[in-house]
Amino acid sequence: MSKGKSSTAWFSKHRDLYISVAVVSVLLVAGVFVADGFNANTLRRYAAAVRENRAAVDASLSQRFDLAEKLLLSIDFLDLAGREEISKEIEGAIASYHASADDTGSVSQAYLRLDDALSDLLRELVAQPSVQTSEQGKIVLELLKSLAGCEDALARFMAQYEEAATAFNRRLDSFPMNLSAKRRAIVAFPHFSIQDALQTRP
């Protein structure tokens, strides 16, 4: 028997094995692509939830600083000790917030600065009851009450964001999600808790 006929006979004898190996290889490659696509879609779904919660946080922050601007205008008509210094701090906090863009650290610092200024304002109002009972004083107190309500909503939205971001980041670090994320340059969401900043400030 010639060498060519021998090779043909051997291939014919093992043809089913070759076909099986080829089929398994194709299925494995297809499985990898399917799994990769599934993992990527899962990450996108969790990322969408994180962005939705972050949007709620940003909206609440925006509302808080809008109220701070109204408060700033109202303070100008108060005969209050320390008014100029408090107004300057509120104005500085507002400016810092608008300049912060999406930097969570800068947003937190602007929030803390506003929080300190509001605390100073409330302390001065408590120390001067006659100012509280004036018409302008009542307006300022109502704005402070609205700011407090806004802070409660912000704390709730912040907790929801933290929960969603933590869930996403954990999946991002797990195998095989991390491989799918690396291929698509998907990165973790930042930790963003103003309450933590309040607790750790000097």
* Per-residue pLDDT at 64: 92
- Residue-level pLDDT, tens digit, the chain, 202 residues: 445 455 565 555 555 655 565 555 554 444 444 455 666 777 778 888 888 988 998 899 999 999 999 999 988 888 888 889 999 999 999 999 999 867 777 888 888 899 999 999 989 888 888 887 888 888 888 999 999 888 888 888 888 988 888 888 888 777 776 777 677 677 778 877 666 655 555 5
CATH superfamily label, 3-200: LemA-like domain (1.20.1440.20)
80: three-class secondary structure by DSSP:
coil
* Per-residue pLDDT at 69: 94
Q: What's the burial of 63, exposed, middle or buried (CB within 10 Å: 0-12/13-18/19+)?
A: middle
d(CA 71, CA 137): 11
Return the ∠ at Cα 65 (arms to 62 and 66), rounded to 5°: 80
The encoded tokens of residue 165 equal: 């971001």
- Of 122, 54, 63, the closest CA to residue 97 belongs to 63
d(CA 72, CA 75): 5
- CA-derived radius of gyration, the chain: 30
The encoded tokens of residue 198 equal: 């309040």
* Per-residue pLDDT at 182: 73
Domain locations in the chain as residue ranges: 3-200
- Of 45, 59, 64, the closest CA to residue 157 belongs to 59
d(CA 130, CA 3): 112
Say what the pTM is.
0.72
- Of 67, 61, 64, 121, the closest CA to residue 89 belongs to 121
* Per-residue pLDDT at 39: 66
